[in-house]
Amino acid sequence: MQQLRQSPSDPGFVQNPYPFYARARAAGELVYWVDYGLVCATSHAAVHALLRDRRLGRECPAELAPEIPPHLAPFYALEAHSLLELEPPRHSRIRRLLTRTFTSARIAVLAPEIKALAHALIDTFPEEPFDLLSGFATPIPIRIICRLLGVPEEMAAQLLAWSHAIVGMYQARRTRAMEEAAAGAATDFAAFMRRYIDRRRRDPRDDLITQLITAEEDGVHLTTDELITTCILLLNAGHEATVHSLGNAVKTLLDHGKPPITEATVEETLRFDPPLHLFTRHVYEDATVFGHRFARGDQVGLLLAGANRDPAQWPDPDRFDPARPIVTNHSFGGGIHFCIGAPLARLEIRIALATLFQRCPGLRLAEPPRYADTYHFRGLTRLMVRRG
pLDDT tens-digit series, residues 11-35: 999 999 999 999 999 999 999 999 9
Total number of domains in the chain: 1
Ranking 22-36, 98-112, 336-350, 351-365 by mean pLDDT, the lowest is 98-112
96 pLDDT above the threshold of 90: yes
| Percent residues over pLDDT 90 in the chain | 89
Q: CA 140, CA 121: separation in Å to the nearest integer?
A: 9
273 pLDDT above the threshold of 80: yes
Write the DSSP symbol of residue 58: S
Strand partners, 279: 302
Q: CA 139, CA 114: separation in Å to the nearest integer?
A: 11
Return the number of other C-beta atoms located less than 10 Å from residue 319's C-beta.
11
Residues 6+ apart with CB under 8 A from 125: 135, 136, 360, 387
The range of the structural domain enclosing residue 177 comes to: 3-386
Contact 250, 270 (CB under 8 A): no
Nearest to 335 by CA among 26, 10, 48: 48
Task: Please report the pLDDT score of residue 129 as a whole number.
Answer: 97
Over residues 54-67, the mean pLDDT reads 92
216 pLDDT above the threshold of 90: no
172 confidence band (pLDDT: 50, 70, 90) = confident
- Rounded to 5°, the CA angle 295-32-309 comes to 115
* 173: three-class secondary structure by DSSP: coil
Most confidently predicted of 116-120, 207-211, 335-339: 116-120
220 pLDDT above the threshold of 90: no
365 confidence band (pLDDT: 50, 70, 90) = very high
Task: Please report the pLDDT score of residue 284 as a whole number.
Answer: 96
For residue 355, the surrounding DSSP H or E stretch is helix 342-359
For residue 310, the surrounding DSSP H or E stretch is none
Return the number of other C-beta atoms located less than 10 Å from residue 328's C-beta.
12
How far out from the chain centre does Cα 27 lie? 27
Contact 204, 72 (CB under 8 A): no
257 confidence band (pLDDT: 50, 70, 90) = very high
Tens of pLDDT, residue by residue over 72-87, are: 999 999 999 999 999 9
Q: CA 241, CA 247: separation in Å to the nearest integer?
A: 10
Task: Please report the pLDDT score of residue 101 as a whole number.
Answer: 87
Return the number of other C-beta atoms located less than 10 Å from residue 86's C-beta.
23
* 46: three-class secondary structure by DSSP: helix
235 confidence band (pLDDT: 50, 70, 90) = confident
* 115: three-class secondary structure by DSSP: helix
Contact 326, 263 (CB under 8 A): yes
Q: CA 320, CA 324: separation in Å to the nearest integer?
A: 9
Beta strand segments in 128-210, E: 130-131
* Neighbour-count burial for 64-76, b at 16+ CB within 10 Å, e otherwise: eeeeeeeebebbb
Q: CA 81, CA 201: separation in Å to the nearest integer?
A: 20
Q: Domain holding 126: CATH number?
A: 1.10.630.10
Report field, pTM of the whole predicted structure over 0.85: yes
Over residues 223-250, the mean pLDDT reads 92
Q: CA 344, CA 245: separation in Å to the nearest integer?
A: 12
For residue 66, say if its preceding peptide bond is cis, omega within 30 degrees of 0: no
Contact 82, 166 (CB under 8 A): no
Strand partners, 130: 385
Over residues 354-360, the mean pLDDT reads 97
Task: Please report the pLDDT score of residue 280 as a whole number.
Answer: 96
Q: Is the dihedral of CA 151, 153, 158, 163 positive or negative?
A: positive
64 confidence band (pLDDT: 50, 70, 90) = confident
